[in-house]
Structure formats: C-alpha cells, structure tokens
Amino acid sequence: MSLDCKPAMVERKEADDQPSFREQFCVPFLLRAQNSDGGWGYRPESESSVEPTAWATLALRQKAAQYPQVIERANQWLLQTQRTEGAWPASAGDPGCWVTGLACLALLDRANSPGAEILKGLQWLSDSWPAEGNVWWRLRQRWHKSPDTVVHQDHALRGWGWTPGTASWVEPTAYILILLRNIPERFYPSGTSKRRQLGEKMLSNRVCPGGGWNAGNPMVYGVPGEPRIGPTVWALLALSDNLNRPESTASLDWLERNYQHISGPGSVALAHLCLAVYGRPVPPLEPRLSSLYMENNFLSNVVVAAWACLALGTVPAWLGSAPAMEIEA
Amino acid sequence: MSYSHSPLLPSFSRPASKVAVRRASSYEDDLEGLLWETLLEFNPQVRDKTVLIKPNFVEPDAQGIINTHPAVIRAARDVFLRLGAKTVVIGEGPGHERDTEGIIEGLRLRDYIGRLEGVFVDLNTDEVSTVPTRTHASKLKKLSLPRSVLSADFVVSMPKMKTHHWVGATLSLKNMFGIVPGNCYGWPKNVLHWAGISSSILDINSTVRPDFAIVDGIIGMEGNGPIQGVQKKSGVLVMGDDPVAVDATCARIMGLCPERIDYLKRAALLLGNLDEDKVEQCGESIAGVKNPFDILPAFQGLRA
C-alpha cells in the first residue's frame, strides 16, 4: 500500500487566506538560519552540522521549486562534508556515524538513480556492523557478567548504532531502514538486503511490552521499559511498509493514547506525522505547535522547526512504502 | 575556568575537603535561603564569571523522581547571581531522550526560571570542540564537548540522589555524562558504555571537573535506578566543592560504602577525597540523616 495516496490525512492551511504557521514562522526561520556555507547548525549562527542540514533540506524540499538555490547550496555542503570512506560525521572532523543515513536521504533525488556519493554512503552503512553479537563480544559474555541476563533481547538481530563499534539502537536503525526503503534493491551493495531484513527484525524484537519503543532496551532487570515518542515514531515509520504488524498496531495505539500528553514541539510534530502516515485520526497540529512556539521559540532549534515543517505539509514521498523510482514512475 | 584549569592532585598531597549536608523536607522550603547560607561558607569565586549549572534531566518523569527538581535549580541560579556571577546558564544533554524541550516543559522548568531561550542550553546539540582527556582511564583519549561547557568559568553539577543499575549510584560525577553531546555520541551515549562506564566517568570529570556539586536528595530514587526505581525521600541537599567528597557523603547517607563503588574508589586517586577522615562535615551529621536506599541484588556488595 503506497502512503503517497494519503496526504489528505494531514491538515493544510496553504489554501486559507491567512498564512499558515508553517509559512509564517517555520519556513522563514529555516531560510534565515541557513549558513553562508549552505549548511545549517542546530541553531541559527552556529556551525553547520549534518543532522540539521539534512532535516532542513528534507523540510524545504517539499517546496523545492520555491527554493532551488537554498536546496542546491545545502546539497553542495553535504557533498563537501562526506568523508572519503563514504560516511558523514556528526560534526566536522569527527568520524562517520549515524547521520550518514540522514545525509543520504537528504541528497536522494527519488526521480533519478542514486548518485555515487549516496552509493558510497550506502556501502559504508552496509559494512558498518554494530559491535554486539560479534565473536569478541560473545567471548566476553562467557567471561564476564552478561548483559543478556539484564536486558533480555536477541543480540543476534543487529541493526545500526549511533556510532561505529557500539550497539544497535532503535532510532539510527530506523533512519537507515527508511533510507533503504527509498532506494531500489538493485542499487544495494552486496549484503544490504540481508542487513535490512535484520534491521527490521531487530526493531520488532525491541518493541516494549504493550507497544511503543524506547531507545532500544525494552526490558531491563525484568522491568518493562517505558516507550518514548521519538523512537516509537521512527520505528513505526521504518516499518510502515507493512501496516499489519502486531507490534505496529500496539505501538500506534500507544502513540495515539499519549499524543495529548506530549509536551515538546519536536515530539508533537513527529507523532502527528506518524499518525497521519498510518491514517489514524489526529487533532489539528497547527494550534498546538504555534502555542508551543510562543513559549520558547522551539529553543531556536533548527531540527524541531524542520520536523514542524514536515508535519504541517503533505506527507513526504520518502515516507512512502515503495522504492523511490517505482513510486515516481 | 573548569576545563583544564583544575589541578589533578594525588590523594596524599590533597587538603581536606568540606561537605555540607542540609535538611530540606520539601521543594517548597526556602531553598534559596538554605543555599545562600551554605554557599557563603564555601565562598565560591564566581564574581563576573559565567556559571554553568548542569542538572540531571534524563527523560520525562511524571512522578518527579528521575530529574533534578526545578526548585533546586532556581535556588542555585538565584544564589549564584546574588554572589555576583555575570551569567548563569543551565545546560544539559539528556541521555535517553532527544526531545530536550519536551523534558524541560514536562518538568515545568519555565514556571521556575522564566523564559528559557538564552538561559537553557541543550548540550546534546551545542557546538563542540574536541579536547584530549586529561586522564586515560578509558580508551576514549579525546572527547567532543559542548563549547558552552568548555567556555564556562564555573561548572556546578546538580544531580538527583539515585541508585544506578550499572554502577551502583549516580551522583555528581556520573551526572557529568550529560555534558557529552548526543549529537556526537548518541542517545544513550553508548560510546561511554563501551569504553567502560567507570573509566569514562573518570575521564570526563578529569577533563571538566565540576567546581561545585549540589545533590538533590530531597526526593531521590532507590531500587532499579536511574529511571525505573521508586521514590526515596531523604530530605537533604548535599553540597561541596569536591565532587568526590560530596558523592562519598551521599553514598554514606544512602547506606552504601563509597570505597566499594568502583568509579568513586578510582576517582579518589586524582579527583578528590573519599576517605571520611579527609572530609570535614558541616551541617547535619551523616548519622543524623542516614537513610539506606534499596539496591538491586547485583549491588548488595556495596552495602556499608
């Protein structure tokens, strides 16, 4: 089922006489916050970083025709920031890490084949295994007190970590699965299909009892973990190509129940977007976001503004279920 | 300046430390008056300085037992301003939750502090500089740290008094995990786990040693802390300019033996005083406020 047919689920105010909150605040904020080098920092006038640049690009790309130069400058910054091995760093000079999936997603033009830089990033992601479950890790478990007895999860199901050489976690795995869903399998480097399957199984394995996800430990010392909005949203969006997974249904129910209690604008926007993607009824987002904006100006956070833009616009094509070129065709 | 200016003194050449234990039965008490009176005894040199308060915010917490209470943060902020600080910034990089604004709104921090823009810094997404660690207890060797922390003149660690299911107790030293930015290290900051939690605590605190610690033990957490435990009312604030001595005192109040908490034992080598003989206690006596915390079976060996 293609999710591209669902944009009506998301409210829109562009057609109204009054400029929408998105057009009046979010988009101008993002446009003003772009640095002269083409990237975005987490806050205006801070150094460009990959994550805010990727989210701002994805948010503004919904209306790319209006801001072609903005998008082009952002793409150039992302291309210049890629490391020689294909990964992207969180900040300049750092090693490659979780933001690689977001950078690839931001650069991906769904109407065309993925470019060489994306394929290089994909290769790095495919080769980048988390450290849990490898031979050394298993040997250590035999000699030391095993975390297996503490956290009760299947460490053979490996996704992706935030940083190389660490464990799998829900959010980075979800970001990369969303990227992979947007690239036809014929472009996958060897072994990537298997990694995608493992990543999906890992997410299913890490769901909290009763639904929803936290960072990635659903049970610690026998106590069920408390789900969190962000990981739940991203896991659901990563698994949205199959709407009938039992863990997805339970998690959507949890998200729906907790929607009214969310206190942060970033989480409100993400939850709204996710419920809309799954076709669940959601109350209007704009009044709530504009009210939260009045409190703290989103703490001038570029990522939050970008998520607000995404949630207030049409469901972006990259959150659809089918690979890119098959949708666009 | 906190970064690199605090000497790392071996235990034999270190003078005694002073730790204050004050009773506070609730968050409605006159906490500002209590902190003012106590800080005058320590006379912290903050005039015209930038003070960074580092509370412990982990994730949304409806029961109010996970995160440092905003009433204590407000009191500390007001007192440091009264002491002549040029700026007092509140900075935290929550370890489990990316939606920092969601946590601080859930805490109602704004009700206590006022408008947060420009006052609160999300350390998870602050600009960073990479610095070498001043000790090499872990394999980290260098850390990307927020510039708001590195540029602060005076860092105050303000944790909640809690048990911790990996290291026994989380107090002012463990609280400094929160200065490590999630943007670079993830949510949770899993690099630090793989580098060894105790060793990472030492490297972080040697590199940015808190100049002062104020532990919120009015209501803490026992059992499966730091997020899945249960409420523990201890009714104390524990303060001092030696974070090791403050944490050791808290451990003793919690009914734990600080010498058996790995990171505290190791911190005593270079970072501060652990030995009770080298801690000058003021305010309440430990015996007078001791209130043993329930701990997980795996940590029964830490019992005093």
- Whether residues B101 and A296 touch (CB distance < 8 A) is answered with yes
Q: What is the pLDDT of residue B3?
A: 60
| SS3 category, A184 | coil
Q: Is B25 exposed, middle or buried (0-12, 13-18, 19+ CB in 10 A)?
A: exposed
Rounded-to-integer distance, Cα A44 and Cα A206, Å: 36
Q: Is B126 on the interface with A (CB under 8 A)?
A: yes
For residue B106, being part of any structural domain is answered with yes
Determine, yes or no, domain membership for B300: no
In this structure, are residues B282 and B20 in contact, taking their beta carbons and an 8 Å threshold?
yes
Residue to substitute from B125, B141, B192, B300, interface A, most A β-carbons within 10 A: B125
The DSSP symbol for A114 reads P
Range scoring the smallest mean pLDDT among A72-86, A217-231, B99-113 = A217-231
Of all residues in chain B, the one with the smallest CA distance to A50 is: B183
Q: Which residues contact A125 (CB under 8 A, 6 or more apart)?
A: A87, A100, A101, A104, A160, A176, A179, A192
Mean of pLDDT values over A211-240: 92
Do A78 and A53 form a contact (C-beta atoms < 8 A)? yes
HSE toward the beta carbon, residue B83, CA cutoff 13 A? 27
pLDDT at A329: 31
ipTM score for this prediction: 0.93
DSSP assignment of B152-169: -SEEEEE-EEEEETTTEE
CB B130 within 8 A of CB B143: yes
- Residue A17: pLDDT over 50: yes
- A269 pLDDT more than 80: yes
Query: What confidence category does residue A327 fall into, taking pLDDT thresholds of 50, 70 and 90?
Result: very low
Nearest to residue B211, comparing CAs of B34, B80, B31, B100? B80
Predicted pLDDT at A150: 60
| For chain A, percent of residues with pLDDT exceeding 70 | 88
- Judge whether B12 lies within some domain: no
For residue A175, what pLDDT band results from cuts at 50, 70 and 90? very high
What CATH code is carried by the domain that includes residue B143? 3.40.50.11440
Using the predicted structure, report yes or no on whether residue A166 has a pLDDT greater than 90. yes
Report the pLDDT value the prediction gives residue B186, as an integer from 0 to 100. Answer: 94
Asked if the structure places residue B70 within a domain, the reply is yes
Question: pLDDT class for A13, splitting at 50, 70, 90?
Answer: very low
* Distance from the A204 Cα atom to the nearest Cα atom in chain B, whole angstroms: 19
Question: How much is the CA Rg of chain A, to the nearest whole Å?
Answer: 19
Q: What is the pLDDT of residue B5?
A: 59
Coil vs helix vs strand at A90: coil
Taking the C-alpha atoms of residue A254 and residue A256, their distance in angstroms, rounded to an integer, is 5
CA dist B254 and B291 (Å) reads: 6
* Structural domain for B264, as ranges: 17-295
Give the Å distances, CA to CA, from A329 to A62, A112, A178, A180, A326. 18, 10, 19, 18, 5
In chain B the beta strands, taken as DSSP E runs, fall at 17-23, 50-55, 87-92, 120-122, 128-132, 142-146, 154-158, 160-164, 168-170, 212-222, 230-240, 279-283
Measured at the CA of B133, the angle between CA B132 and CA B134, to 5 degrees, comes to 115
Q: Whole-angstrom Cα distance, residue A289 to residue A13? A: 14
The verdict on residue B10 lying in a domain is no
Predicted local distance difference test score (pLDDT) of residue A225: 87
Q: What integer pLDDT is reported at residue A109 of this predicted model?
A: 86
Q: Which of B116, B144, B191 lies at the smallest CB-CB distance from A91?
A: B144
Contact A91 B128 (CB under 8 A): yes
| Each residue's pLDDT tens digit, A100-124 | 999 999 999 877 889 999 999 999 9
DSSP B1: -
Q: Is residue B67 part of a domain?
A: yes
Hey, are the CB atoms on A301 and B125 less than 8 Å from each other? yes
Subunit contact A301:B97, Cβ cutoff 8 A: no
Asked if pLDDT for residue A255 goes beyond 60, the answer is yes
From the list A13, A112, A71, the residue with the least C-alpha distance to A314 is: A13
CB pairs A-B closer than 8 Å? 130
Tell whether B95 is covered by a domain.
yes
Residues 6+ apart with CB under 8 A from A311: A10, A268, A269, A270, A272, A273, A276, A285, A289
Contacts of B183 in chain A (CB under 8 A): 42, 49, 51, 90-91
Smallest Cβ–Cβ distance between A223 and the set B59, B127, B228 belongs to B228
Q: Quick check: is B52 in a domain?
A: yes
| Residue B111 in contact with partner chain A when CB distance is under 8 A | no
Q: Which pLDDT score is estimated for B59? A: 87
Asked if B18 and B63 count as a contact pair (C-beta separation under 8 A), the reply is no
What's the mean per-residue pLDDT of chain A?
Answer: 88
Task: Answer yes or no: do A171 and B190 touch at CB < 8 A.
Answer: no
pLDDT single digits (tens) A111-164: 788 999 999 999 999 999 998 877 777 777 666 655 555 666 787 889 999 999
Q: What is the pLDDT of residue A1?
A: 35
pLDDT of residue A317 exceeding 80:
yes
| Chain A residues touching B98 at Cβ < 8 A | 171, 230, 266
Answer yes or no: is pLDDT of A202 > 80.
yes
φ, ψ of residue A125 to 5 degrees: the values are: -65, -40
**Mean pLDDT, 10 residues at a time, chain B of 304 residues:** 66 90 98 98 97 95 92 98 98 94 94 93 96 95 96 98 96 98 94 94 97 98 94 98 98 98 96 95 97 95 94
Q: Is the pLDDT of residue A256 over 90?
A: yes
| Contact indicator for B232, B220 with CB cutoff of 8 Å | yes
Tokens 């190509």, residue located = A241
pLDDT of residue B2: 54
pLDDT computed for residue A138 by the predictor: 72
Q: Scanning every residue of chain A, which has its alpha carbon at the shortest distance from the alpha carbon of B122?
A: A299
Closest CA to A178 of A328, A1, A319, A3: A319
Pairing of strands B230-240, B212-222: antiparallel
As given in the structure block, the two tokens for residue B192 are 């630090």
| CA distance readout (Å), A53 to A40, A72, A303, A322 | 5, 12, 8, 25
Residue A229 CB partners (closer than 8 Å, separation 6+):
A255, A258, A262, A267, A270, A271, B99, B102
| Interacting residues of A222 by C-beta distance below 8 A, sequence separation 6+ | A152
pLDDT of residue A155: 79
Check whether the bond before B226 is cis (ω within 30° of 0). yes
Give CA separation, A243 vs A228, A236, A277, B182, B190, in Å. Answer: 20, 9, 10, 31, 31
Domain count, chain B: 1
Enumerate residues 6+ apart whose C-beta is below 8 A from B109.
B70, B73, B90, B116, B120
Subunit contact B110:A296, Cβ cutoff 8 A: yes
Q: Which of A15-19, A41-45, B9-13 has the lowest mean pLDDT?
A: A15-19
pLDDT at A321 over 90: no
